[in-house]
Structure 1
């Protein structure tokens, strides 16, 4: 992969059509890394994980494998919990990672968070000695997904040929998918300020329980709401509103306030041991199955999906 010599961080997209092309693009990438003494991690959907393990044979023992449908269910936690977690554990050497965050079956609700994640990998790893290869099923994914891959990856590999992308513009992609969240079905809304934070938490937990959540998932709701509403009071103008409703097999909670998230990587950086504050949105990403965010001069809406 010649692009690796150009700069410390390398982020190619691999367009594949069928199992043969998938293995041709991934197995040598893994084996070259192992021969070079580079730690290698593979985070792809379960079926592709099984194919790679079989194809690698004995080499599979030296690779860190993660099922992306679990580890990356929420695209917002892939950078801190998957990519940075592995890279930061091997700071003394270059690392290789295969990350496949977009697969057939990702919903239209999930997709904007997925493509923003792909765009944000670039500033998150700028200057780091890391190569992250992102496979795309070019035979089955929508053409818009492939077009976005050209915009989020400086290098694209297709048909065995590697080319620099003339459409590369990750910041534009982040801005484009920062769209107002579609209005949901009517649901009860509660306003809160500093004096009503406990009321907001109780309201959300009670509604979530009525909609079918229980046990640890209710505890997750309480933590998510506590973090988001506290952020509203401290950073979002001092007040906000919260709503909770049901969407298929998930409970959705949404917090709106008058704040503005100026840092697209907020909540996507791992917390340091001595860090004071700044962990709230990171925790929200860890606990939610999906987080959608829209932010602008008029305020911010954060929508969290929690599976039953």
Structure 2
């Protein structure tokens, strides 16, 4: 894969704004800070000039770079730290992208979103890649553009190949190229529905079969969180999230479930296992209608927790939550 060079970077990125009025989801391969700055800034400036609502959601040093580069645009561009707002990749679609689009209903939105950067761990990565695939389903037919930069000098070959699989178009060397590896986003997302590592034998486990036992579930989670040193406010968040997931298990399986809790690598980890089959890969990524009585458990877990991993099988579902200690 070639790096971007020369003035064609701006021409190639500008064409993303004028080529279509429907959803555009290109990946941008870059190798140097200069290439990153030119490609992303050109996209943002063209979007502002076209009258779009513009959001830049990128992590760390890249956020600082683009704040400085685009300072002259003032409030025409909104900024968000993806390492904070998108630390849990399952939070990005409902709480960053859809929230911004809803705020600007009736207006085209253009977003620079960088959910995958070299610091993303192997534990986080499958959820990140599934997120990139499902953007195509969530925003299909919307008047929007989302540009996703990828650091081709630091990311490994597998993650770069996945970028070609999750984006219909890639920008390489300043030129747009249709991706030969892009297929149906649901099919691609299913490839990241990977088995979770085994629950360690040291984990504490509690089984439950009825609603009356939810208070015991909450006490169990709160006690384990406190013993691990999770701050009180975060322990409350975790307890709320696990209670919602436990309620979901009871409502949808009728057979009960089990919760396991343990700590590893600076994280408190909790897993809910039940016999239900979670068939929709968008579950937890699309806010339910205000009139709906359910469907908020996974959304809430994504909002409150640092990482949510899901493995759906024909005979059951495992949902694993991570909270930083």
SS of structure 2 residue aligned to 1:268: coil
Counterpart position of 2:24: 10
Q: Please show how residues 227-246 of structure 1 align to structure 2 within 5 Å.
A: 227-246=244-263
* 1:152 counterpart = 2:169: no
Q: Please show how residues 96-135 of structure 1 align to structure 2 within 5 Å.
A: 96-135=110-149
Counterpart position of 1:203: 220
Q: 1:229 to 1:152 in 2, by over 3 A?
A: same
Counterpart position of 1:179: 194
- Alpha-carbon displacement from aligned partner over 1:169-223 (angstroms, at most 9, x marks no partner): 2223211111111113211211101132221221111111111113111111210
Q: Residue 164 of structure 1: CA displacement?
A: 0.5
Q: Measure the CA separation in 2 of the matches of 1:241 and 1:291.
A: 17
2:311 to 294, 303, 306: 294
Q: Measure the CA separation in 1 of the matches of 2:163 and 2:146.
A: 13
8 Å CA contact 1:191–1:240 kept in 2: the answer is: yes
Counterpart position of 1:256: 273
Q: What TM-score comes out, normalization by structure 1 length? A: 0.97
* 1:41 counterpart = 2:68: no
Q: Residue 138 of structure 1: CA displacement?
A: 0.6
Counterpart position of 1:278: 295
Counterpart position of 1:190: 206
Q: Measure the CA separation in 2 of the matches of 1:31 and 1:166.
A: 29
Q: Residue 6 of structure 1: CA displacement?
A: 4.4
Q: Residue 298 of structure 1: CA displacement?
A: 1.1
Q: Measure the CA separation in 1 of the matches of 2:286 and 2:49.
A: 30
SS of structure 1 residue aligned to 2:133: helix
2:231 to 203, 214, 217: 214
1:58 to 47, 72, 86: 72
- Alpha-carbon displacement from aligned partner over 1:109-168 (angstroms, at most 9, x marks no partner): 000000000001011111110100000001111111110000000000011111000100
Counterpart position of 2:7: none
Q: Which runs of 5+ in 1 are unaligned?
A: none
Aligned Cα root-mean-square deviation (Å):
1.3
Counterpart position of 1:306: 323
Q: Measure the CA separation in 1 of the matches of 2:220 and 2:70.
A: 51
Counterpart position of 1:82: 96
8 Å CA contact 1:84–1:270 kept in 2: the answer is: no
Q: 1:232 to 1:3 in 2, by over 3 A?
A: same
Aligned residues: 308
- Alpha-carbon displacement from aligned partner over 1:12-53 (angstroms, at most 9, x marks no partner): 000011111101211111011111111100000021011111
Q: Residue 7 of structure 1: CA displacement?
A: 5.9
8 Å CA contact 1:81–1:270 kept in 2: the answer is: no
8 Å CA contact 1:254–1:303 kept in 2: the answer is: yes
8 Å CA contact 1:237–1:257 kept in 2: the answer is: no
Q: Which runs of 5+ in 2 are unaligned?
A: 1-13
Q: Measure the CA separation in 1 of the matches of 2:191 and 2:21.
A: 27
